[in-house]
Structure 1
């Protein structure tokens, strides 16, 4: 049962940084760049310095970089393709409006971020800085997109499969949650990382309740079904091999990292089995402890407590 958020007055409007960037008047570049920077005070410096990696110490206002982008054939083609696929973002705005209404329900004191879109060179999908949530539209162009197939990009199919509009909101909300609730890096155990990822996905359960599990975690429906079929076997393996409390990241990385399937398992297995299992533990914990709020869950740093109080024993 979803909480009633109809009384929460909120409407998400997405600012199109990539359109404003390409609409810059090059005859008055210094003035136009200053106006762009004024409209996007958080994102402007991050975009050029961190995302596009402008290291020119002289180009402090990114004038040369802007000229390069506007003159670059690949950037122009990419901008054309983005405009074709996403002439408007009404559906995404509607979905994010609903998501952030739920967010305000659970975290009434928190501020809703400014949301912008941009184009880059196939990097992050979404990122956050201060109070800006930025969505990289070139990472959601659909499988088979021409640049994904190019030699310079060459994204594997298992990645391309989720680079579409259905994954924009889950990807953005995940990046936002990771900024709001960063992981305690001191705890190196697999259990801690499983539970942390599980909490992030439970945050998506709460803010995107109508989105399919497959879109939240980035699995195919067959991979979701595989996990449900073998969840007890997975748990037996984690417990039997003593992996839960291992701090050897080389030993357990395959259970957290994305891949076509999990190494050592059959080829139709799901990847990220630790992430999926952590999600189920957190779901079970919240079911067993209905008095725990989403805010309390996200701020709970004791992964062992969550495991113990979840009574997680899949069959």
Structure 2
């Protein structure tokens, strides 16, 4: 399947700006990057739209994030591998979903650490490299308490190079198959999230389950070995029928946790149970294609 992903490194062009010729440099960036230029300036970096303030804000951003930019090659030495994983994922998506328009460009950038990790724009699939340096990066260590309060420990585990491809592809999945409107039960919401994880695994079959689920290796192994315990926990507490939004969010969040959830259960345990529900459904309905699965009525996917 022919599908070539072009890669533009916005961070190289942006941090390579000649601050003595900033207007000319910004004009060149705007011409090269189109929609992403505005995405970065006003949504990611949150610069002022007042031209009188913009120059000072850009200079301050370049100074304060120079360490992050200089660290890219050290902390993410194999970026070409992750880009190839993304390209292969979209080649598979083209086979599974021949009617969909797929991104043909990846744009990497450096933004605020507490900002976006990846998103899809009109310009392509955009990846904020600042969120994938690994746990030893000093920038994370310096802001550890703040980042943990914002993202949660579970999400911070994913601030590493191995999570670039699954994070980016999941952002595309969320864009292409947005959540349905409506007041769901937890069971229906788990089915919705589970089918996205199932699709992610299908598009990135060579990745570890830890990378797919966003868990540590030990957490993933525990879940695989104790799937029956996880199912019974939800059954015994009659959780799948609840429509309480707070409970639904707590079981599907990296930074919230139900107070009575056993300590061995990882945060966002709903993601795993949802995947198991979908996997069981697909095992029982082997003729179901991925396009059909992604449009399926969630009520048909139930806990076995």
**Alignment TM-score > 0.5, same fold:** yes
Shift of 1:185: 3.2
SS in 1 for 2:240: coil
After superposition, the Cα gap between the structure-2 partners of 1:62 and 1:251, relative to the gap in structure 1 and judged at 3 Å, is same
Task: List per-residue Cα deviations over 1:16-67 (Å, max 9, x = no partner).
Answer: 111111112333322221221122112111112112222x342399544433
Q: 1:263 to 1:153 in 2, by over 3 A?
A: closer
| Larger RCO: 1 or 2 (CA < 8 Å, sep 6+) | 2
Alignment partner, residue 122 of structure 2:
130
Aligned length in residues: 298
State the 1:158 CA deviation.
4.3
Q: Are the structure 2 counterparts of residues 9 and 78 from structure 1 closer, same or farther at C-alpha, using a change threshold of 3 Å?
A: same
TM-aligned CA distance change 1:108 to 1:62, over 3 Å:
farther
Q: Does 1:11 align with 2:1?
A: no
Where does 1:67-78 land on structure 2 (aligned, <5 Å)?
67-70=59-62, 72=63, 74-78=64-68
Deviations 1:141-161 (A, max 9, x none): 011210101147643454443
Contact 1:143 1:163 in 2 (8 A): yes
Structure 1: gaps spanning 5 or more residues = 1-7
Matches within 5 A, 1:1-315: 8-54=1-47, 56-59=48-51, 62-70=54-62, 72=63, 74-86=64-76, 89-113=79-103, 114-122=105-113, 123-151=115-143, 154-156=146-148, 158-259=154-255, 263-300=259-296, 302-307=297-302, 312-313=303-304
Give the 3 Å change call, closer, same or farther, for CA 240–53 of structure 1 in structure 2: same
Q: Is the 8 A contact 2:154 2:215 kept in 1?
A: no
Listed one character per residue, the Cα deviations across residues 69-103 of structure 1 (whole Å, up to 9, x for unaligned) are 23x2x211111112433466221222112111101
| Alignment check: 8 A CA contact 1:92 1:169 kept | yes
Normalised TM-score (structure 2): 0.89
Shift of 1:180: 0.7
Structure 2: state its 5+ residue gaps: none
